[in-house]
Amino acid sequence: MNEKYYIRRIQKGDHRALDHFIELLYPQVYCFICHKIKDENIAKDITQDTFVRFIRALPTYHSEGKALNYLYKIASHVCYDYYKKEKNYLMLEDELIADETIDVHETIIKNMTSTQLQEVIYELKPAMQDIIILKYYHQYTFKEISEIYHIPISTVKTRHYQALIQLKKQMEGEHIDEY
* SS3 assignment, position 103: coil
Residues in the chain: 179
Q: What confidence tens digit (pLDDT) does each residue in 39-78 have?
A: 889 999 999 999 999 988 888 877 777 888 889 989 988 9
| Cα angle value 25/71/39 (rounded, 5°) | 80
- Residue 143: how many CA atoms within 13 Å on its side-chain side? 1
CB crowding 70-104: b at 16 or more within 10 Å, else e: bbbbbbbebbbebbeeeeebeeeeeeeeeeeeeeb
| Domains and their CATH numbers in the chain | 3-86 (1.10.1740.10), 107-178 (1.10.10.10)
pTM (2 d.p.) = 0.59
User: From CA 112, how far away is CA 166, in angstroms rounded?
Assistant: 14
Listing DSSP states for 131-146 in one string gives HHIIIIIS---HHHHH
Identify whether the C-beta of residue 63 lies closer than 8 Å to the C-beta of residue 1: no
pLDDT in tens, 99-121: 343 344 455 555 555 666 777 88
| DSSP summary character for residue 13 | T
Amino acid at 48: Q
Residue 37 has pLDDT above 80, yes or no: yes
Helix (H, G, I), strand (E, B) or coil at 150: coil
